[in-house]
């Protein structure tokens, strides 16, 4: 079994305030990819946090109202994951921390980035395939992303 990211707040003693989401809520084919990106960041000396995996429609709507997400988000289907830096959360730039530079490279290497230029965000399929993905019955979505993720290995 591929090792997944730590799941509980107890794994992040330095940032007790941040929420930690469960990678097991992601589509099965996407989970080991997130694990790969996560552990590569750890090897590089960062402490990543799995901040957001699966979103409910109500959570997606709230993000739209805050201007930080899409109501059609791939997070609604477990096909997107947001990782943040536990040391600086979203303000790595101010601290000259390269967390998000590495994360972007790793998402591009092993998965895909989204349409919003949202730096914590990685997704299991290219933006050009989002409409095709959403049109599928839920039971077929994992097989679909598996094909797109296999192109990246
Ligand atoms: Zn940082
Ligand atoms: Zn996201």
What distance in angstroms lies between residue 86's CA and the mean position of ligand 2's atoms? 16
Q: Which CATH class is domain 9-150?
A: alpha beta
* Torsion angle, alpha carbons of 96, 102, 105, 109, to 10: 180
Residues with CB under 5 A from ligand 2 (ion): 80, 82, 121
What distance in angstroms lies between residue 16's CA and the mean position of ligand 1's atoms? 16
Between residues 58 and 15, the one the model is more confident about: 58
- Please state, for a pLDDT cut of 70, what percent of the chain lies above it: 88
What distance in angstroms lies between residue 123's CA and the mean position of ligand 2's atoms? 8
What distance in angstroms lies between residue 109's CA and the mean position of ligand 1's atoms? 20
Model confidence at 68, in pLDDT bands (50, 70, 90)? confident
What distance in angstroms lies between residue 55's CA and the mean position of ligand 2's atoms? 9
What distance in angstroms lies between residue 138's CA and the mean position of ligand 1's atoms? 35
Name the average pLDDT for the chain. Answer: 87
Which ligand ends up closest to the CA of 53? Answer: 2
Domains in the chain: boundaries: 9-150
Which ligand ends up closest to the CA of 55? Answer: 2
Tens digits of residue pLDDT in 86-99 = 888 889 999 999 99
Instruction: State residue 62 phi and psi, 5-degree precision.
Output: -60, -40
What distance in angstroms lies between residue 85's CA and the mean position of ligand 1's atoms? 5
What distance in angstroms lies between residue 119's CA and the mean position of ligand 2's atoms? 8
pTM: 0.87
Between residues 78 and 47, the one the model is more confident about: 78
Residue 152 in contact with residue 125, Cβ under 8 Å? no
Three-class secondary structure of residue 105 per DSSP: helix
Between residues 61 and 69, the one the model is more confident about: 61
Burial 115-153 (b: 16+ CB within 10 A, else e): eeebbbbbbbbeeebbeebeeeeeeebbebbeebbeeee
């Amino acid at each position: 079994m591929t090792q997944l990211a730590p799941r509980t707040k107890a794994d992040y003693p330095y940032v007790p305030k941040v929420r930690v989401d469960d990678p097991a809520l992601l589509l099965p084919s996407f989970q080991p990819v997130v694990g790969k990106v996560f552990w590569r960041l750890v090897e590089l000396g960062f402490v990543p946090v799995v901040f957001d995996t699966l979103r409910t429609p109500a959570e997606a709507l709230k993000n739209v109202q805050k201007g930080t997400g899409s109501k059609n988000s791939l997070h609604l289907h477990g096909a997107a994951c947001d990782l943040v830096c536990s040391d600086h959360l979203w303000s790595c730039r101010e601290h000259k921390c390269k967390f998000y530079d590495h994360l972007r490279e790793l998402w591009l290497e092993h998965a895909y980035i989204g349409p919003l230029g949202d730096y914590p965000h990685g997704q299991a399929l290219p933006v050009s395939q989002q409409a095709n993905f959403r049109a599928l019955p839920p039971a077929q979505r994992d097989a679909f992303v598996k094909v797109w993720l296999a192109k990246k290995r």
